[in-house]
Amino acid sequence: MHVVLSGVVGSTAYGLARPGSDVDRLGLFAVPTEELHGLQRPVESVVSSAPEPDRTMHEAAKWCRLALSANPTVSELVWLPDELYEVRTPLGEELIALRGALLSERAVRGSYLGYAGQQFRKLLTRGPDERPRAAKHARHLVRLLEQGVRLHETGELVVRLTEPEQVRESGERIAARPELAEPLLAEAERRLDRPGVLPSAPDESRVEAWLRRVRRAYWTA
């Protein structure tokens, strides 16, 4: 596994971590290019957890496909604050530089509203003894809506929340009364329906060119 880019994500990156919070890591790796020519497909994702650090690694092509669909978790890897990167190779720097090419209006709208809607449905079906987890779902809902709207309107994915404690407090209220999320979802949908700054389609040619540079870099004869 050749790690191209990796860093700390999740609650630490959002500014929501508390003492004892898990530290989540996300990364992108490249398989030796020669392995792509055999009968068996090489591994596309590697996930490790306790007792190892929580870490998710995606192969370069899979990461690009997920990022082009505006997957919120995957996308934040190229928008992290500098101090949260743990591996940052020259190819990783190139990927960060072309992060705007991954974006498109339709994908951002569908993905962020879709993931927020999933969190809302989890709130509606939680059991009475699941309050801590419900609060986590509610925080994710608030965060996703805030990040999605800002990305749509400014073209920038802000991973570190500007008001993390406000998001935490909103999460507690929504966990207790899930119906409070409905106006937030409606307002986000309204703003995402308005014209934004994102292109109608991502610049796949730039992403493809980067991926081909990765394949050349890791070719072994």
Q: Does CATH number 3.30.460 belong to domain 2-101+203-217?
A: yes
DSSP structure string for the chain: -EEEEEEEEHHHHHT---TT---EEEEEEE--GGGGGSSSPPP-EEEE-TTS-EEEEEEHHHHHHHHHTT-HHHHGGGG--GGGEEEE-HHHHHHHHTGGGG--HHHHHHHHHHHHHHHHHHHHT--TT-HHHHHHHHHHHHHHHHHHHHHHHHS----S-S-HHHHHHHHHHHHH-GGGHHHHHHHHHHHHHS--SS-SS--HHHHHHHHHHHHHHT---
Give me the pLDDT at residue 48, please. Answer: 86
Please tell me the pTM assigned to this model.
0.92
pLDDT digits (tens, 9 = 90+) for 19-71: 878 899 999 999 999 999 888 889 999 998 766 678 999 999 999 999 999 99
